[in-house]
Every structure is written in structure tokens, then in C-alpha cells.
């Protein structure tokens, strides 16, 4: 990992991981759109991701792409379990890269949180109204036969055959991502999805090699990381997203995340993407922290310091000075912007202007000419009033 010595705010400096250079430290976080049909991306994904790519971000990551059909969160999730699904994403990936941003993709399996409602239909277990719309439930699989909550589907506890197929599915999806031209991939091991349910003692009561103590509960996550790194090009970085804590007493803790991050680093993971919660519904913070702006940055800082690995900070980071302060304090190496990027797709360009970084990149020609005329018109109006 090398950083540029250029005397710009860190937010606007490049970062090199392996043979891949991020043009700046701001990335677009994966945000599910629930707009796919049978796992295939379409026009919505091209316009959504393409619009963000024009915003000046150093990298844009797609939403979670299921590595198996049963790994989708909802009927509207994208997938990467076949070559045809990869080709459906190609226009979006190509457009992101044509804008000068790196293209990343998040690989995922929803586990016991699969086969649920789209958020605007309730964000819960599928009900009669969902079935009437044609959203029929499918068999789901998990670490243990434990549902998310009452009324939710009970997952089938995965056996050794299921686990072997899953590990291969992650590797196959990574191979497809490379063929697509993706610059980096992220394994989703957070938010109560499959890999996190294996990690957490709250959702894993297995008695075999994939349960029990921390070593057993980490086994599947490490096997997936090793399989993906084994097929992913040596010059391209590999991210792993974690829930740094469960947020429930007796659950996964930051000390566990530090150990996991060290094991992932040894397998060739380059960046730990530090989120939190999601395993048991609404997270309860039990370690004295208050939910607020940048509330997950402390987790990122602790992992970064104790493991000596690059981290990505996420969660309620709203403006450039806040992001810059986190980078300067050593809390993270990259800053992922999610909901704020939807609110302002040109977030980074606007932050550059506000922070006085006047030489940050250039607008696309199709916009720059009009914006130059806008500035000249505003200036002429101001001068006429003097």
C-alpha cells in the first residue's frame, strides 16, 4: 500500500493497493436497488451506477451480487451466478471505467435473510400480498436452522456439500467479475447475511468444524476469502466487508473482528470494510457508543492500527471535511459514501469546491462546457450589480 505525496487533502490523493491505483479516497458504497429481474441487471443499474461514476468518485461499487440464486435478499437482487448475469452488468461496468473511476463489485449470499420483501413492501418476511405479486418464497440456507425472527423462514442448516458448493460459487463469481473488467471485488461478510451468521455465536450453534469456538466460526469466511483470492488476479485488491460488532450482548465483538482481519490479511485480503450490526434486526449498541456521524470509524481505526491493514470507513459520513478528518486521524484509508451519494451524485466534486481544491479533476466535457457558461453568467450578473 502506497500513498501519493501530493500536497492535496488526503481525500483527493490517490491510493495504490497492489497494482491498482484509486484516483482518490472516496468510493461509492454498495447500495441495493432491488430492480433486477431474475438476477439480471438492466437499464436502472446502468443509469444509477453511471450517474454516480460521473460524480468524481475514485471508485464505484455495485450492489451485492448473489453468487447463487437462493442467495438473493429479494426477488429484485442482481446475481453473478452465470456468465449471462455477468454480461448484463457489462454496460454499467464499462461506463464506470470510462468515467475514470475504478469499478468494483460486492459478492454476497444472504443466507437466512434471503427471500424477503423489497424495502418498500415492508422489508420483512414475504407475506400474502407479496405472493399475490408473484414474489414466491424459495428454500433458504443458513449456518444453523435459526430464523431471523418469529414469522421468518427457517433456513436449512448447510451441510458439507452446501458449503463446498458455496465456496466454489464465490470463486466462480470472482472469475466472472475479472472477465467483466472489475478492478476490485468485495466479499460481503456483514449485516446478518450468510458469512456473518457463521461468524456470530448468536446465529451459529453448529457442533461441527464450522461452529463452536472462534476458529470454527471463522472457517467458512476464511475458506471463501482463500478461494476468491486464489482466482482473483494478484495485481487487483480484495476487500472484505465485516460487521465489526453485532451490537448485542454475547455476540460478535470488535476483538473478534481484529482476529478475523488478521487471518484475512494473511490470506491476501487488502482492505477491511468496517460496518456493524444487522445480524439480529435492529442493532443495540452495548459498548457505550452513541449512534452519530461517523459512528463506525472507531472500529475501522482499531482494526487498521492493530492489524496493520488498510480499512474503509463507512456510515454517516456527510461532507468532505468530516471525511478528511477521518483520513488524517488514521481512522481509515478509504471513505465509502452511500446515501449521501444518492442525495448528491456529484458529492465529491462539490466537496472539492467547498474545500478549495480547485484543480480537482475536470467535469465531463458534456457538462463542463455548460457549467463554465453558468459560472460566467453568474459572474456577469454579480458585476452588473456592483
Residue 60 vs residues 186, 191, 248, 307, 352: alpha-carbon distances, Å: 12, 20, 32, 26, 18
| Nearest CA among 287, 261, 187, 285 for reference residue 228 | 187
Q: Which of 193, 210, 343, 353 is catalytic?
A: 193
Task: Determine which helix (DSSP H) or strand (DSSP E) holds 184, and give its type and residue range.
Answer: strand 184-189
CA 352, 353, 355, 361 torsion-angle sign: positive
193: annotated active-site residue: yes
Question: From the CB of residue 291, how many other CB atoms can be counted at a distance below 10 Å?
Answer: 13
| Residue that is written with C-alpha cell 456521524 in the block | 293
Task: Determine which helix (DSSP H) or strand (DSSP E) holds 383, and give its type and residue range.
Answer: helix 365-384
- The answer to whether 357 and 48 are in contact (CB under 8 A) is no
- The answer to whether 235 and 19 are in contact (CB under 8 A) is yes
Question: From the CB of residue 368, how many other CB atoms can be counted at a distance below 10 Å?
Answer: 11
**d(C-alpha 157, C-alpha 363), whole Å:** 51
Residues noted as catalytic: 193
Amino acid at each position: 500500500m502506497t500513498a501519493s505525496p501530493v500536497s492535496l487533502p488526503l481525500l483527493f490523493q490517490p491510493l495504490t493497493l497492489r497494482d491498482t491505483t484509486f484516483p482518490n479516497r472516496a468510493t461509492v458504497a454498495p447500495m441495493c436497488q432491488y430492480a433486477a429481474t431474475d438476477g439480471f441487471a438492466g437499464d436502472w443499474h446502468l443509469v444509477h451506477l453511471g450517474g454516480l461514476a460521473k460524480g468524481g468518485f475514485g471508485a464505484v461499487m455495485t450492489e451485492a451480487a448473489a453468487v447463487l440464486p437462493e442467495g438473493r435478499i429479494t426477488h429484485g437482487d442482481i446475481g453473478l451466478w452465470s456468465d449471462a448475469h455477468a454480461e448484463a452488468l457489462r454496460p454499467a461496468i464499462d461506463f464506470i471505467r470510462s468515467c475514470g473511476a475504478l469499478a468494483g463489485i460486492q459478492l454476497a449470499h444472504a443466507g437466512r435473510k434471503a427471500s424477503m420483501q423489497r424495502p418498500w413492501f415492508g422489508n420483512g418476511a414475504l407475506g400474502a400480498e407479496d405472493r399475490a405479486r408473484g414474489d414466491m418464497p424459495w428454500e433458504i440456507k443458513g449456518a444453523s436452522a435459526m430464523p431471523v425472527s418469529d414469522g421468518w423462514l427457517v433456513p436449512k442448516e448447510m451441510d458439507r456439500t452446501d458449503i463446498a458448493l458455496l465456496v466454489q460459487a464465490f470463486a466462480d463469481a470472482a472469475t466472472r467479475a475479472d472477465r467483466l473488467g472489475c478492478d476490485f471485488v468485495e466479499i460481503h461478510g456483514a449485516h446478518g447475511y450468510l458469512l456473518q451468521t457463521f461468524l456470530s455465536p448468536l446465529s451459529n450453534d453448529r457442533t461441527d468444524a464450522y461452529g463452536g469456538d472462534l476458529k470454527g466460526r471463522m472457517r467458512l469466511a476464511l475458506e471463501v476469502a482463500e478461494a476468491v483470492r486464489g482466482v482473483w488476479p494478484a495485481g487487483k485488491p480484495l476487500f472484505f466487508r465485516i460487521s465489526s460488532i453485532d451490537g448485542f450482548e454475547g455476540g460478535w465483538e470488535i476483538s473478534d473482528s481484529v482476529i478475523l482481519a488478521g487471518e484475512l490479511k494473511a490470506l491476501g485480503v487488502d482492505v477491511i470494510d468496517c460496518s456493524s450490526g444487522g445480524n439480529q434486526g435492529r442493532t443495540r449498541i452495548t459498548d457505550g457508543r452513541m449512534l452519530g456521524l461517523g459512528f463506525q470509524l472507531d472500529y475501522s481505526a482499531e482494526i487498521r492500527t492493530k492489524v496493520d491493514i488498510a480499512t474503509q470507513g463507512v456510515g454517516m459520513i456527510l461532507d468532505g471535511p468530516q471525511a478528511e478528518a477521518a483520513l488524517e486521524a488514521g481512522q481509515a484509508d478509504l471513505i465509502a459514501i452511500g446515501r449521501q451519494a444518492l442525495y448528491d451524485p456529484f458529492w465529491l466534486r462539490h466537496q472539492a469546491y467547498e474545500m478549495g481544491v480547485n484543480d480537482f479533476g475536470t467535469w465531463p466535457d458534456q457538462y463542463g462546457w455548460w457549467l463554465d457558461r453558468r459560472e460566467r453568467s453568474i459572474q456577469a450578473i454579480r458585476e452588473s450589480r456592483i
